[in-house]
Amino acid sequence: MNPRRRPPGDTIAAVATAPGRGGVGVLRLSGPAAFEIAAALTGELPSPRTAALRTFRDADGEALDRGLVLCFTAPASFTGEDVVELQGHGSAAALDGLLRAACVLGARVARPGEFSERAFVNGKLDLAQAEAIIDLVDAGSARAAKAAFQSLEGRFSTRITTLAEGLVAARVFVEGALDFSDEDIDWLADAGLHDRLAALDHALVQLLADAQRGRVLQQGLRVVLSGAPNVGKSTLLNQLAGVDAAIVTEVPGTTRDVLREHLTLDGLPVTLIDTAGLRDTDDAIEAEGIRRAWKAIESADLVWFLFDDRQGMSADDAALLARLGDDRPCWRLANKVDLSGGEPGWRADAALPTLGLAAKSGQGIPELVTALHRHAGLTGSEEPLFTARTRHVDALRRAAEHLARARDHLGQQAFAELAAEELRLSHDALGEITGRFTQEDLLGRIFAGFCIGK
């Protein structure tokens, strides 16, 4: 990979291990003065990639700790710069002292994500791979960790690059054909071109589906939980919280805020968005809460609408359900089947997907969780291939739309210029994922989401 920008000139330092107590703690240095600063801290440096035991001292020669020193010479390092790792004891105070000593000797404390940013800038990783680092660090399940590692290894990026190369070839052909448009031969009618674009379209749609599954694994499914008071929403939530020792955290806030509960259901991260109070519209402050709730609902993947199976759904329920499920899947959950005499499980006869359950006793909950996994594309046989983010899914969607338009235009030869432009836009959208066309401000936002020392 080619360097994208001139490497930054200063040397950065950060504690790379998690804050708190630990057997080992690592201070990382990267930049042109990394070796010089490390030598001042530890004495003679070992040859690159060889560990040596040294005493770490501050600028006044006072001993701070004793541990291993590891040097990596540019460009064969994580960041592509000279890098040193000092592996001392995992004491916050000792590591802080070491960091301060490094700064006295000329290093600067790294911003969050700055090591990965430098790796990206120096062409060691593309953007999707850099993002995979943070996905791996944040992975909430073994499956998510495995998928993030695949992204880091370039599995996602390779598929993007292969598609991008296919698009370049198609662009060269179409633009070349435009240059020779005065001649008698109709290059653009070439069946080979149409077949190639159809194959690219197919691969892009496939990649989009895989990326959507990867996104769900990394960011979770967002499910709107709705229904009238007393139908059993809290009871359902508590039952789900018992699945797979789920972690439940309630985002602090008043009833005016949108309530979100984060659960992990058999390894699938799920955010439940509570829509309690959606129907109260008289109060101005309440209205703001409702506006926020609708905003949260807009970004949801799925709606669960709970009702008491004894009464069925009211007209109000049906109206709200229609609004919630405007352009996303909606499941009706017929609760309290223990009281209604209904059967737990999916009802084949219902127009909308309807599941009978008894939230209180847990009947129907396994079916609900299994369906959720299937909805997320995470059934046992279909492991997600890599992690992805909303930004990637959006870019792939745009790339697919532009490609589809290009194919439409090519069907009508008069629009060949438009086809060439759509192919370029499709190509640019793919480039955003790996960072070839990403704007600087977006890069800043992406790396700011990383932790310090990464």
Distance of closest approach, residue 317 Cβ to ligand GDP, in angstroms: 12
Q: Quote the CA–CA distance of 434 and 351 in Å, as a whole number.
A: 43
Can you tell me whether residue 68 is helix, strand or coil? strand
Least CB distance to ligand GDP at residue 251 (A): 17
Between β-strands 302-308 and 268-274, what pairing exists: parallel, antiparallel or unpaired?
unpaired
Instruction: Compute the least distance from the CB of residue 225 to ligand GDP, in Å.
Output: 9
Name the E strands within 134-249: 221-226
Question: In the complex with ligand GDP, which residue's Cβ is closer, 4 or 360?
Answer: 360
- Shortest Cβ distance from residue 346 to ligand GDP (Å)? 17
Of 158 and 234, the one with the shorter C-beta distance to ligand GDP is 234
What's the rounded Cα separation, in Å, for the pair 87 and 66?
8
| Of residues 233 and 409, the one with the C-beta less far from ligand GDP | 233
Helices (H), 325-415: 337-340, 365-375, 390-411
Please state, in angstroms and as integers, the Cα–Cα distance from residue 188 to each residue in 178, 180, 420, following that order: 9, 11, 11
What residues are paired with 108 via a beta bridge?
12
Question: Please, which residue, 102 or 306, has the CB nearer to ligand GDP?
Answer: 306
What would you report as the CA-atom Rg of the chain, rounded to the nearest whole angstrom? 27
Closest CB to ligand GDP: residue number: 232
Minimum separation from the CB atom of position 104 to ligand GDP (A): 58
Give the binding site for ligand GDP (CB under 6 A): 227, 229-235, 335-336, 338-339, 358-360
Between 166 and 227, whose beta carbon lies closer to ligand GDP? 227
Beta strands (DSSP E) in 220-370 are 221-226, 259-265, 268-274, 302-308, 330-335, 345-346, 354-356
Specify the residue, 116 or 239, whose C-beta has the smaller distance to ligand GDP: 239
The residue (of 226 and 387) whose beta carbon lies closer to ligand GDP is 226
| Closest distance to ligand GDP from the beta carbon of 231 (Å) | 5
Helix axes 114-121, 127-138, angle to 10 degrees: 150
Are the C-beta atoms of residues 454 and 137 closer than 8 Å to each other? yes
Min CB(365)–ligand GDP separation in Å: 10
